[in-house]
Amino acid sequence: MSIYSNICFYGGGAWGQALAITLSSLNNNSTILVSDKTRETQINNSKSERFPNLKLSPLIRATTNIEKAIKDSDLIFITTESKRVLLAIEEISSFSKNKINVIITSKGFATKKGKTFNEIVENKFHNILLSILTGPTFADEIANKKPAAAIVANKDIDIATSICELFHNSNLRLYPSNDPIGASIAGAIKNIIAIGAGIVEGLELGDNAKAALITRGISETCELIKKVGGDHKTAFGLAGIGDISLTCGGPHSRNMAYGMDIIKNNYRPSTSLVEGLNALDAAIALSNDLNVELPIVGAIYKIINKKADVNDIIKNLLARPIKNEFL
C-alpha cells in the first residue's frame, strides 16, 4: 500500500491528466489543480479536453482552490511547462506547513544560466523534497494505457522508490534513480537535440545524418552531466538515450516538429510550446561557464538565431578536428 494518500497534480494539461488516469487505474484518488472554472467543471464531469475519447474516472477530481489543494496534499506533481515551474514551487512552499514531496515532470532548466530546479530548491525552498520524473513518455500514449518506462530521480533513493511503488503494476513502469541533476540535464538537452533532428529532417539530410546527430547529442549530454557533478550513466538510460530516441523519432514530438518548421516555413515556425527552444540559451550559458564543448547544441543555437548559413554550419561540424570518439 502506498504511503501517499493525498495526491495533487499542479497543472491540468495533458501530462497531469495522463498521470492521474494512470493512478486511477490502481484505484488511487487524485486532485488536479487547474486555473479556470471551465476545466474544473469539465474534469469533474469526467470529461477531458485533452483526451476527448476518454471518460475520466470519478477518482479524479479538479479544483481551482490552490491553497486548499496544496495544504491537503502529501505528494504533488508539477506538470506545467518548465517556465512556470518556479512559480509553482514558490506557491507550494508558501502554502505547505511541513516538508512535502514534490515531483517535477517538466524537462528544462530553471534559469537562463543553466541552473537546475534541484539546485534552486536546495538553496531556497527547504520544506520541499524534490524529485524528477523523466523518460521517453508521450502523454497521450500513457493516458491510453500503452506501456512505457521512465525514472524518478531523488538524492534520497528511498523517496524515489516510494514514488515508483505508487505506480507499480500500472502501464507506466518507473525506476528509481539517485541522480536528479543528471536526469534534469538529460531532459533539457534532449529537447534541443530533437530540434536538431527536425532540422535534419527538414533539410532532407537523411537517416545517416539523424543517427549521427542523436549519437553525438547523447555524447554531449554525457559530458555536461559529468561536469555538473551528475552520473554520466544517466545519459545512457531512459532519461538520456531513451528520451532522445523518442523525441527525435518524428513530428509527434513538438521539438522535432519545430525544427522541421523552421526549415520548411523559412524560419517562421509555429508558436506552440517548444521546451527545447526555452532551454537553448541556458545550455549555451552553462557550457560556457563550465568550459564544455557542445558542438551539436551550439550548431542548433546558431541555426535558430541565424548566426550563420545552415550549410556552412553543417560543413564546419564535419570539418572539426579528428579525435577519438570517446575523448
- The three-state DSSP-derived secondary structure of 23-57 is HHCCCCCEEEECCCHHHHHHHHCCCCCCCCCCCCC
Name the domain boundary from 178, 205, 225.
178
Q: Distance between CA atoms of 225 and 233, rounded to whole angstroms?
A: 9
Tell whether 325 is covered by a domain: no
Tell whether 323 is covered by a domain: no
pLDDT of the residue at 297: 97
The H or E element that residue 77 is part of is strand 75-78
Name the domain boundary from 126, 153, 178.
178
pLDDT of the residue at 325: 84
Q: Distance between CA atoms of 304 and 279, rounded to whole angstroms?
A: 12
Name the domain boundary from 142, 158, 178.
178
In terms of domains, do 108 and 247 share one? Answer: no
Query: Which residues are within 8 A (CB) of 90 and not within 5 positions of it... i.e. 6 or more apart?
Result: 125
- Alpha carbons within 13 angstroms on the beta-carbon side of residue 73 total 29
pLDDT of the residue at 268: 65
Model confidence pLDDT, tens digit, residues 22-77: 999 999 999 999 999 999 999 999 999 999 999 999 999 999 999 999 999 999 99
In terms of domains, do 201 and 168 share one? Answer: no
Annotated catalytic residue: which of 190, 306, 307, 315?
Answer: 190
In terms of domains, do 29 and 169 share one? Answer: yes
* pLDDT at position 1 over 70: no
The H or E element that residue 95 is part of is helix 85-95
In terms of domains, do 156 and 270 share one? Answer: no
* pLDDT at position 271 over 70: no
Tell whether 327 is covered by a domain: no
Instruction: For residue 315, give the C-alpha cell.
Output: 560543413
Q: Mean of the per-residue pLDDT values for the chain?
A: 94
Q: Distance between CA atoms of 143 and 266, rounded to whole angstroms?
A: 35
Kindly report the CATH number assigned to the domain that includes residue 89: 3.40.50.720
In terms of domains, do 190 and 117 share one? Answer: no
* pLDDT at position 250 over 90: no
Tell whether 324 is covered by a domain: no
In terms of domains, do 13 and 162 share one? Answer: yes
pLDDT band at 326 (very low <50, low <70, confident <90, very high): confident
pLDDT of the residue at 86: 96
Model confidence pLDDT, tens digit, residues 109-130: 999 999 999 999 999 999 999 9
pLDDT of the residue at 51: 96
pLDDT of the residue at 270: 61
Model confidence pLDDT, tens digit, residues 205-224: 999 999 999 999 999 999 99
| Mean pLDDT confidence for 185-206 | 96
Q: Which domain holds residue 310?
A: 181-318
pLDDT of the residue at 266: 75
pLDDT of the residue at 79: 97
Kindly report the CATH number assigned to the domain that includes residue 248: 1.10.1040.10
| Mean pLDDT confidence for 317-326 | 89
The H or E element that residue 8 is part of is strand 7-10
Q: Is 68 a catalytic residue?
A: no
In terms of domains, do 174 and 209 share one? Answer: no
* pLDDT at position 9 over 80: yes
DSSP for 181-223, please give it.
HHHHHHHHHHHHHHHHHHHHHHTT--HHHHHHHHHHHHHHHHH
